[in-house]
């Protein structure tokens, strides 16, 4: 983290977990134990049907609610899809884009790019995900792969909007496996992502953008991961489903930075 130049963001990704009633229960518990200090931004990205309950419960709080996907088109015949302006109207602030679980369902870099542009246009903060498979890591092509995902995902994002984008590095082999990247491994890739942004935009913009780590991040390993200079927060799956664990990760972001 580096609080001097950029925001620290602790974001939860609930994936396909919790009903609207369970959402209300979770938020009620979270509110009672939420730390008062404001050392980081806090986001919870929840299933679409849980958004109204989450927004209602967290209205007077500092927790921003987000969606887990969006459709890049403004409206039309896209059965089952949700447009960015609908998310904004429902009270969302964030939207996760290009999660590896969605890419595995066929989402391409071009789709990710269209969604990032649509989210920015609507005023949402896109949390754009990237990450390599174990095979790619072992083949030594992680850097090239991530650089390509970032370049294609950010295509056409204008200079004045790049600082609104949050990038999440999620090695696929670390998601839901309990096998976290070491702080050094995660730092190395996050640092590379910043270099790619620097080349595409400028040093100032690269310095200002928040890059999160995701993949089995939990209340035990968060402190060490967040101590890395280029890891500006976390995108947390499993551990974001338990209020006590999520709060411990928020607390881990309360540490001195460079
Ligand atoms: P886990 O924290 O459950 O490994 O999930 C990470 C993730 O995919 C967040 O988007």
pLDDT of residue 166 exceeding 80: yes
Residue pair 124/88 in contact by the 8 Å Cβ criterion:
yes
Residue pair 186/228 in contact by the 8 Å Cβ criterion:
yes
CB within 6 Å of ligand 1 — which residues?
13, 99, 170, 175-176, 214-217, 235-239
Task: Give the domains, in start order, of the chain with CATH numbers.
Answer: 8-253 (3.20.20.70)
- Ramachandran bin of 91, using left for φ above 0, alpha for ψ from -120 to 50, beta for the remaining angles: left
| Per-residue pLDDT at 18 | 98
What gap in Å lies between CA 216 and CA 174, rounded to an integer?
6
**Average pLDDT of the segment spanning 127-135:** 98
Kindly list the catalytic residues: 99, 170
pLDDT of residue 203 exceeding 80: yes
Which residue lies with its CA nearest to atom 2 of ligand 1? 237
**Average pLDDT of the segment spanning 123-131:** 98
Report, in angstroms and rounded to the nearest whole number, the Rg of the chain calculated over CA atoms. 17
pLDDT of residue 24 exceeding 80: yes
Which atom of ligand 1 lies closest to the CA of 217?
A: 2
pLDDT tens digits for 219-247?
999 999 999 999 999 999 999 999 999 99
pLDDT of residue 1 exceeding 90: yes
What gap in Å lies between CA 155 and CA 110, rounded to an integer?
9
Which residue lies with its CA nearest to atom 1 of ligand 1? 237
**Average pLDDT of the segment spanning 34-42:** 93
Which atom of ligand 1 lies closest to the CA of 177?
A: 4
Q: How far is CA 74 from the centre of its chain?
A: 23
| Per-residue pLDDT at 41 | 97
Residue 236 Cα, ligand 1 centroid: separation in angstroms?
Answer: 5
């Amino acid at each position: 983290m580096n609080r001097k130049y950029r925001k620290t963001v602790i974001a939860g990704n609930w994936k396909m977990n919790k009903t609207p009633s369970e959402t209300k229960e979770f938020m009620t518990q979270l509110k009672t134990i939420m730390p008062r200090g404001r050392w980081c931004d806090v986001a919870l990205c929840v299933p679409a049907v849980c958004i109204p309950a989450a927004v209602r419960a967290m209205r007077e709080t500092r927790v921003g609610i987000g969606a887990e996907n969006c459709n890049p088109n403004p409206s039309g015949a896209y059965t089952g899809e949700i447009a960015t302006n609908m998310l904004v109207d429902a009270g969302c602030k964030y939207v996760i884009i290009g999660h590896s679980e969605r890419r595995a369902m066929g989402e391409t870099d071009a789709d990710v790019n269209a969604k990032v542009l649509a989210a920015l246009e609507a005023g949402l903060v896109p949390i754009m995900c990237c990450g390599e498979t174990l095979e790619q890591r072992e083949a030594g092509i992680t850097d090239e792969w991530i650089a390509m995902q970032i370049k294609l995902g950010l295509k056409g994002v204008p200079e004045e909007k790049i600082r609104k984008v949050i990038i999440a590095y999620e090695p696929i082999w670390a998601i839901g496996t309990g096998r976290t990247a070491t702080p050094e491994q995660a730092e190395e890739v996050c640092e590379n992502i910043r270099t790619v942004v620097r080349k595409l935009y400028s040093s100032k913009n690269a310095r200002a953008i928040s890059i999160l780590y995701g993949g089995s991040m939990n209340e035990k390993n968060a402190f060490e991961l967040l101590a890395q200079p280029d890891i500006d927060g976390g995108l947390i799956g499993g551990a974001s489903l338990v209020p006590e664990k999520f709060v411990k990760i928020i607390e881990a972001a309360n540490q001195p930075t460079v």
